[in-house]
Amino acid sequence: MIMKTIEVIISGKVQRVGFRACARHIATNLGVAGEVENLTDGRVRILATGDGVILEKFVSMLYGCPRAIIRDIEVYHYIDTPFTDFSIKKANYG
């Protein structure tokens, strides 16, 4: 298995709808490690580490999060980052 890390930026109605918890649930079920956080501009940012094929599945499954209305998902390669689990980062703004 070749592990890699991606950065995922999700826009739409993705804050205050349980999206971060949904992303963590999907990641945990797939064995993806990383973190998810709200951004000040209303988007959500995910750093995810795992096998490339699994990461593709993870990103596609984000569309199934209930109550979230995803307008766009941008995926970028990111510096390989080892995570031990998948966590929700608390917003430190406002």
Residue 38 CA, chain-centre distance (Å), reads 10
> Phi/psi of residue 31, each to 5°?
80, 25
pLDDT recorded at residue 91: 73
Q: Which CATH class is domain 3-88?
A: alpha beta
What is the pLDDT confidence band of residue 92, given thresholds at 50, 70 and 90? low
Residue 93 clears pLDDT 70, i.e. is over it: no
Residue 1 clears pLDDT 80, i.e. is over it: no
> Cα separation of 65 and 51, whole Å?
22
Catalytic positions are: 20, 38
pLDDT for 14-73, tens place per residue? 999 999 999 999 999 999 999 999 999 999 999 999 999 999 999 999 999 999 999 999
pLDDT recorded at residue 90: 87
